[in-house]
């Protein structure tokens, strides 16, 4: 647990730590919260949102964009919606 906390404080992401320790990123977050570690807010910059919108309009999935930008696909979805980008349903059709 100390190694996990030290890794996070050294700049590793919860995704990287999850991979390193063989646990889910949510478990990493829970451990950090339980130990009162100050969490970094990882979001998307304006430039990243613009790029995400271009990629999404180009047919990329939310998962693929999230992986490219090291954020959760839900973060991508929320930022795209905030910018007025029309999202697709699970079958790829515009909503």
- pLDDT tens digit sequence for 50-83: 999 999 999 999 999 999 988 889 999 999 999 9
The pTM is what? 0.57
Residue 17 has which token pair?
Answer: 């730590």
Distance, in Å, from the CA atom of 24 to the CA atom of 48, rounded to the nearest integer, reads: 25
Residue found by looking up tokens 């890794």 in the block:
7
Distance, in Å, from the CA atom of 21 to the CA atom of 87, rounded to the nearest integer, reads: 34
Q: Which residues contact 83 (CB under 8 A, 6 or more apart)?
A: 49, 53
């Amino acid at each position: 647990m100390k190694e996990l906390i030290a890794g996070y404080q050294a700049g590793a992401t919860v995704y990287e730590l999850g991979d390193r320790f063989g646990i889910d990123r949510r478990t990493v977050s829970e451990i950090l919260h339980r130990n009162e570690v100050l969490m970094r807010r990882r979001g998307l910059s304006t430039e990243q949102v613009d790029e995400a919108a271009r990629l999404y309009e180009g047919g990329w999935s939310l998962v693929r964009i999230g992986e490219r930008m090291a954020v959760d696909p839900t973060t991508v979805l929320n930022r795209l919606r905030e910018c007025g980008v029309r999202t697709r349903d699970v079958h790829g059709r515009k909503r």
